[in-house]
Structure 1
Amino acid sequence: MSRGDVYLSEKESRRVYVMERLLEGVVTVKDASCVLGLSERQIKRLKAGVKERGIAALAHGNRGRKPKHATPKEVKEAIVGFAVGKYSGASYQHMSELMKEHDGIFVSAKTVGRILKEASIPNKHTHKASRRFNSRFAVKAEDKEQASRASPGVDSLHKIICVKSYRKASKNFKNAHRAGLISINLNYI
Structure 2
Amino acid sequence: MKFYSEVALEKAMTIQEVILRAYAGKISWIEASEILGYSPRHVRRLKDRYKRDGFHALFDGRRGKASPRRVPIELVEEVQRLYQEEYFDFNVKHFHEKLTEEHGMEVSYTWTKCLLQKSGLVAKDKTRKKHRKRRARRPLSGMLLHIDGSEHQWFQDGKYYDLIVILDDATSEIYYARLEESESTRTVMTGLRHVVETKGIFCQLYTDRASHFFLTPKAGEPVDKQTLTQVGRAMRDLGVLLIPAYSPQARGRSERSFRTWQGRLPQELRIRNITTLKEANEFLDSQYIGEFNSRFTVGAKGEGTAFLPVFRNDLDRVFSIQSERTVNRDNTVRFKNLHLQIEKQDWRASLEGSKVIVYEHQDESISIGLGAHEVGRFSKNGEPVKKPKAKAAAVGKKVNSPTYHNQQTGHIMC
**TM-score normalised to structure 2 length:** 0.27
Shift of 1:36: 1.8
Shift of 1:6: 6.5
Task: Give 2:97's aligned amino acid.
Answer: E
Q: Which residue of 2 aligns with 1:18?
A: 18
Q: Which residue of 2 aligns with 1:108?
A: 108
Two-structure CA RMSD over aligned residues (Å): 3.1
Shift of 1:92: 2.8
Within 5 Å, give how 1:1-189 maps onto structure 2: 4-5=1-2, 7=4, 8-122=8-122, 132=132
Query: RCO (CA 8 Å, sep 6+): is it higher in 1 or 2?
Result: 2
Comparing 22-31 with 11-20, which one deviates more in the overlay? 22-31
**Rg (Cα) greater in structure:** 2
Question: Structure 1 residues 89 and 44 mapped into 2: Cα distance closer, same or farther (>3 Å)?
Answer: closer
Distance 1:111 1:38 in 2: 29
User: Contact 1:116–1:122 at 8 Å: present in 2 too?
Assistant: yes
Distance 2:92 2:41 in 1: 47
Distance 2:3 2:83 in 1: 40
CA offset digits 1:59-94 (Å, max 9, x no partner): 112111232323333222222211121223434334
Task: Give 1:47's aligned amino acid.
Answer: K
In structure 2, list runs of 5 or more residues that go unmatched: 124-128, 134-414
Question: Structure 1 residues 92 and 55 mapped into 2: Cα distance closer, same or farther (>3 Å)?
Answer: same
CA offset digits 1:98-153 (Å, max 9, x no partner): 33344443223333222222222237xxxxx68849xxxxxxxxxxxxxxxxxxxx
In structure 1, list runs of 5 or more residues that go unmatched: 124-128, 134-189
Shift of 1:16: 0.7
Distance 1:26 1:131 in 2: 49
CA offset digits 1:143-176 (Å, max 9, x no partner): xxxxxxxxxxxxxxxxxxxxxxxxxxxxxxxxxx
Question: Structure 1 residues 38 and 91 mapped into 2: Cα distance closer, same or farther (>3 Å)?
Answer: closer
Shift of 1:20: 2.1
Task: Give 1:31's aligned amino acid.
Answer: E
Shift of 1:13: 1.2
Distance 2:96 2:30 in 1: 52
Task: Give 1:86's aligned amino acid.
Answer: E
Count of aligned pairs between the two proteins: 126
Task: Give 1:79's aligned amino acid.
Answer: V
Distance 1:6 1:47 in 2: 23
Classify the secondary structure of the residue corresponding to 2:54.
helix
Task: Give 1:49's aligned amino acid.
Answer: R
Distance 2:34 2:109 in 1: 43
Task: Give 2:9's aligned amino acid.
Answer: S
Classify the secondary structure of the residue corresponding to 1:67.
coil
**TM-score normalised to structure 1 length:** 0.52
Distance 1:132 1:13 in 2: 45
CA offset digits 1:27-78 (Å, max 9, x no partner): 3323322322333333323222211221222111211123232333322222
User: Contact 1:92–1:113 at 8 Å: present in 2 too?
Assistant: yes
Higher helix residue share:
1
User: Contact 1:96–1:106 at 8 Å: present in 2 too?
Assistant: no
Comparing 102-111 with 55-64, which one deviates more in the overlay? 102-111
Question: Structure 1 residues 44 and 119 mapped into 2: Cα distance closer, same or farther (>3 Å)?
Answer: closer
Distance 2:81 2:121 in 1: 11
Distance 1:105 1:76 in 2: 11
Question: Structure 1 residues 130 and 39 mapped into 2: Cα distance closer, same or farther (>3 Å)?
Answer: closer
Task: Give 1:21's aligned amino acid.
Answer: R
Question: Structure 1 residues 132 and 9 mapped into 2: Cα distance closer, same or farther (>3 Å)?
Answer: same
User: Contact 1:96–1:112 at 8 Å: present in 2 too?
Assistant: yes
